[in-house]
Structure 1
């Protein structure tokens, strides 16, 4: 009788060790998946940001030259576009919560806590 109980405890111990090992493996894989999705999202955002900055840089020069031709003074065109960018900077600073913080929080919440159904389709 005592030997049977000891054998059952040994089996229980083995099952618990197997259960915890499989949980550790699951969380390693889940963490790796989330880390890779995060790295891909950050890489995409960096490339997108760099290309956007290059486009804005070239559009800014083009607009400054166009405005300078319109005003008859090239320096006035550059000055006008500079003030326009300062105005945009002030506007973004004043509206940073609704324009930047909240959308980023929503994006990362969906990104990190995304649940998938059995068909691997996002819910």
Structure 2
């Protein structure tokens, strides 16, 4: 009698452990899918915004270079001035890239992975 009760309880514990592991595996699969989708959609939105901003920047730069060139009667000077502006801006971004770029991106992905 005692052995039958122990056998039944052991089988019950095994069934519960098996159900727990299956539930945990399903939970982590869903959690991984959620994190992957949030990351993918965030990257896609960022890429789309960057593409649109690049187009505005390109046409704005050409227009500014042509306007400066018309003012000084030298299109080459206008394009050279705009190119110099971008060179200075790139150098400044290189100096502060850790604070502006890496920090916020790391913070946002940390928020997605660890707070959900």
* Shared fold (TM-score, shorter chain, > 0.5): yes
Deviation at 1:107, TM superposition (A): 1.3
TM-score, structure 2 length as denominator? 0.95
What's the counterpart of residue 69 of structure 1? 70
What's the counterpart of residue 56 of structure 2? 55
Deviation at 1:39, TM superposition (A): 0.8
What's the counterpart of residue 6 of structure 2? 5
Gaps spanning 5+ residues in structure 1: where?
116-123
Counterpart Cα distance in 1 of 2:7 and 2:81? 86
SS of corresponding position for 2:115: coil
Note the aligned Cα RMSD (angstroms).
0.9
Say how many residue pairs are matched: 115
Counterpart Cα distance in 2 of 1:62 and 1:45? 26
Deviation at 1:111, TM superposition (A): 2.1
Gaps spanning 5+ residues in structure 2: where?
none
What's the counterpart of residue 120 of structure 1? none
Q: 1:79-108 deviations in whole A, cap 9, x for unaligned?
A: 000000111111111110111111111111
